[in-house]
Amino acid sequence: MEFPDDCKYTKDHEWVRIEGDKVIVGITEFAQSELGDLVFVDLPAVGKTVATHGTLCVVESTKAASDVYCPVAGTVSERNDALADDPGLINRTPYSDGWIVKLSGVAEAELAGLMSAEDYKKLVGK
């Protein structure tokens, strides 16, 4: 199971990665393995403002619907529309093609509260 070092993690199994002035958000490999094959991602509208720990979107497998919480407050500046046709991207490549949104306007201080790859790895016991 992968835990890329260039990402930061939450205890709710989301990851974030900084890309210029944007923050990319997705769910971890552990999260997708627990959920099973995803069949639908209810993507948020671009421009939506989300608070820290606010509901960013819902991902669905055949048996579960799970909220994805926003690791840091920000505004959705871009979303991964490829997930509409192929939600399995999250299962196959959770840290790259399976990204969910990019956030803008994220305060740097917020990122400090997130977990390192090492700590997250310990959390999920892998």
Report the interface residues with another protein, using CB under 8 A: 36-37, 39-40, 42, 60-65, 87-88
Q: Which residue, 9 or 44, is less far from another protein as judged by CB?
A: 44
Nearer to another protein, 65 or 82 (CB): 65
Cα dihedral sign, 12-55-72-99: positive
In angstroms, give the least distance from the CB of 40 to another protein. Answer: 7
Q: How far is the CB of 56 from another protein (least distance, A)?
A: 14
Give me the sheet containing 65-69, strands edge to edge: 38-42, 55-61, 65-69
Nearest-angstrom CA–CA distance, 3 and 126: 10
CB of 100 to another protein, least distance (A): 17
- CA distance linking residue 66 with residue 27, whole number of Å: 11
Strand partners, 84: none
Of the pair 55, 104, the CB lying nearest another protein is at 55
Min separation Cβ 119 and another protein, Å = 26
Nearer to another protein, 40 or 77 (CB): 40
The tokens describing 114, both together, are 């997130």
Closest to 100 measured CA to CA, from 83, 75, 117, 86: 83
